[in-house]
Amino acid sequence: MASVRLALTERVAFLSAFQYRNYRLYWSGMLVATMGAEILKISLLWLVYDLTGSTLYLGFVGGIQGVTTIVFNLFGGVLADRVDRRRLIWATNLTFFLIILALAVLTAGKLIQVWHLVVFSAMFGTVTAFDTPSRQALIPNLIGDRKHLMNAIAMHSVIWQSSRVVGPALAGILIAVVGMAPCFFIAAAAHLAMVVAMSLVHLAGPVKRTGQSVAAALVEGVQYVRGNSAIFSVIGMVFVNSLFGMSFIFLMPVFAKDIFQGDSSGYGFLMTAMGVGTLCGGLFTAASSRFKSKHIFLLGASAAYGLLLIGFSFSRVYSGSVALLALAGFMQQIYMVTAQTIVQWMVTEEVRGRVMGIYSLVWSLTPVGSLQAGLVANYFGAPIAVAFGGAMVSSFTVFLLLAVPRVRKIEV
């Protein structure tokens, strides 16, 4: 049976990482936990609005989680380099379970208050800051051959994209059928799947410990990134994508309602198109993991993504805009998966956690991008704001192509 599975995963390109038991366990646990996280997110926001009727509280609860994640991301990276990452992920997911369980019990007992939700969101964001860098840094340790690294990262991204397509709909059905408290109990139980998975993963090799202070370790991680032009440039691309490339998401209601004269269903189709595109992009990169010249994926897909956003901003045909968003999602996922693959391939094991902490921090800045998009849209209109974001992504790509020769020669 094992030999049949090995032969299948070797022959089917987008399944190659699944020949490794540790990766299969990790991926399965993450799939369940991520679906639970999506159910939690939708249920929590619904509960906030149900309790307060305030859009201000909606923004505050979401914002406090993002702020705590940004604040502690770098410290999460330092810890990921100092302890057993498998045990750290086990501990963070057990903590997720306990936090969400407490939320579920308070909701079921009709004791929940809005300040509880603010505290829970801050706690969840803090734990996420320690969970994300360790998860990303663990992926290379779960596969036996680095040639499967891009496949492993791409299939990991497929978890997130598929959960974002299925999770909100599932949460909406559950809220309507069984109510709020059971949704939280389900979300809590989902994180136990990751606890079990990490208990079953077995990794060899001692953990390297350091006598450095936290501040010195942070500085070393930043200096490592700054001293490697390829890693610095790729993380710069993620930074530009977070601030400018993804900010258009926050303006989608304007396009759906004011530009296309639609309703919530029209808005939903636009977002679904983007989600389907990113899911297909993840599967494409998983199947193309053996393609060596990754710089073509990185630079080509990034430039195309920016141009597609510009095209979307000026489109006034709804069906054409849906198609443009799907293609944009496809391209965006190709270059983001490629970006993480390049960073993971080039970084040394000793600083992997800190580098992925920096990577996670940069990726977490997407909500900040909404501020610049909102300001530009306020003065010049939403189409100009989206076009500006797309132009920034494409322009930065061209800049790297011309100014950083090493990026043009990346092959992993």
Q: Tens digits of per-residue pLDDT, 328-369?
A: 999 999 999 999 999 999 999 899 999 999 999 998 888 778
22-200 and 214-409 share one fold = yes
Residue type, 13: A
User: Distance between CA atoms of 348 and 153, rounded to whole angstroms?
Assistant: 17
Quick one: DSSP state of residue 365?
T
User: Distance between CA atoms of 213 and 218, rounded to whole angstroms?
Assistant: 9
The CATH number of 214-409, from 2.40.128.20, 3.50.50.60, 3.30.565.10, 1.20.1250.20, is 1.20.1250.20
User: Distance between CA atoms of 130 and 361, rounded to whole angstroms?
Assistant: 11
Residues 6+ away with beta carbon under 8 Å from 307: 390, 394
Tens-digit pLDDT profile for residues 128-172: 999 999 999 999 999 988 889 999 999 999 898 888 778 777 888
Residue type, 376: V
Fold of 22-200: Growth Hormone; Chain: A; (1.20.1250)
User: Distance between CA atoms of 298 and 115, rounded to whole angstroms?
Assistant: 43
Distance of CA 295 to the CA centre of its chain: 21
Structure tokens given for 206: 């001692």
Quick one: DSSP state of residue 259?
I
Ordered per-residue pLDDT tens for the chain, 412 residues:
555 455 545 555 668 899 999 999 999 999 999 999 988 988 888 888 888 887 677 777 777 888 898 899 999 999 999 999 999 999 999 999 999 999 999 999 999 898 998 899 999 999 999 999 999 999 999 998 888 999 999 999 989 888 877 877 788 888 888 888 999 999 999 999 999 999 999 887 655 656 688 889 999 999 999 999 999 999 999 999 988 998 888 788 888 888 888 876 777 788 888 888 999 999 999 888 777 778 889 999 999 999 999 999 999 999 999 999 999 999 999 999 999 999 999 999 899 999 999 999 998 888 778 778 888 888 999 999 999 999 999 999 999 999 888 887 777 6
Structure tokens given for 367: 């909500």
- Cα torsion 90, 94, 95, 96 to 10°: value is 100
Where do the domains of the chain lie? 22-200, 214-409
Alpha helices in 53-113 (DSSP H): 55-80, 85-108
